């Protein structure tokens, strides 16, 4: 089995929420700052894989905030989540890494991570599409042919997930109608 090279999704989630400052937040709808307050929270299931074991049924509380400027509510969903899914981005990338560097059959790999073969191939397809989208934007930046990128963008791979969302309007590896409209 592979050695865990990354922190767990749960530990990252806790660190993100520990450092979250509600007063520094802007409303994602109206961009107002200083009008954000706590609304409520809901439980979200998080599937993670660490120490060579699958951890299912881990529940985390996702905060919902309220903007008194525009009256809208929104969730604070850290980038480690794929919206509307229980699998973390770390889990999906771990499975894809195991797939691309596999030393076992696809069936054995899927059994180890307790996913369907069709799920693996859906993740692989989505990963390749989104990777192509992002790399296409980077290539245009380096050749200075993309008017949608600023002249001095902060291309920092540690902010990849946020940059991807800001550029395309949906999260990396998210399955949605918006994501499906891209080739």
Span 52-101, pLDDT tens digits: 888 887 889 999 999 999 999 998 888 788 878 888 888 888 899 999 99
Phi, psi values for residue 104, rounded to 5°: -135, 165
Which range, 11-15, 120-124, 141-145, 166-170, has the best average confidence (pLDDT)? 120-124
How confident is the model at residue 181, as a pLDDT?
A: 52
Has residue 17 got a pLDDT over 80?
Answer: yes
Mean pLDDT of 116-130: 91
10: exposed, middle or buried (C-beta count within 10 Å: 0-12, 13-18, 19+)? middle
Span 21-59, pLDDT tens digits: 888 888 888 989 889 999 999 998 888 888 888 888 788
Evaluate whether 42 touches 20 at the Cβ level (below 8 Å).
Answer: no
Mean pLDDT of 125-133: 84
Has residue 150 got a pLDDT over 50?
Answer: no
For the chain, give the mean pLDDT: 78
Output the 3-class SS for 9-41. HHHHHHHHHHCCCHHHCECCCCCCECCEEEEEE
Percent of the chain clearing pLDDT 90 (strictly above)? 25
Evaluate whether 173 touches 126 at the Cβ level (below 8 Å).
Answer: yes
DSSP, residue by residue, 134-172: HHHHHHHHHTT--TTS-SS----GGGHHHHHHHHHSS-T
DSSP 78: -
């Amino acid at each position: 089995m592979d050695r865990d090279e990354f922190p767990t999704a749960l530990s990252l989630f806790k660190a993100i929420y520990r450092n979250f400052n509600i007063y520094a937040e802007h409303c994602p709808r109206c961009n107002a700052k200083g009008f954000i307050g706590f609304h409520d929270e809901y439980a979200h299931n998080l599937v993670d894989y660490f120490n060579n074991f699958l951890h299912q049924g881990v529940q985390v509380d996702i905060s919902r905030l309220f903007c008194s400027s525009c009256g809208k509510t929104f969730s604070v969903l850290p980038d480690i989540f794929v919206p509307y899914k229980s699998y973390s981005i770390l889990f999906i990338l771990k499975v894809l890494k195991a797939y691309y560097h596999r030393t076992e059959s696809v069936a054995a790999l899927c059994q180890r991570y307790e996913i369907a073969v069709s799920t693996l191939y859906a993740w692989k397809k989505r990963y390749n599409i989104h990777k192509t989208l992002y790399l296409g934007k980077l290539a245009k930046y380096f050749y200075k042919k993309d008017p949608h990128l600023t002249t001095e963008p902060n291309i920092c791979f540690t902010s990849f997930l946020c940059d991807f969302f800001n550029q395309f309007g949906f999260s990396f590896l998210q399955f949605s109608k918006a994501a499906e409209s891209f080739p």
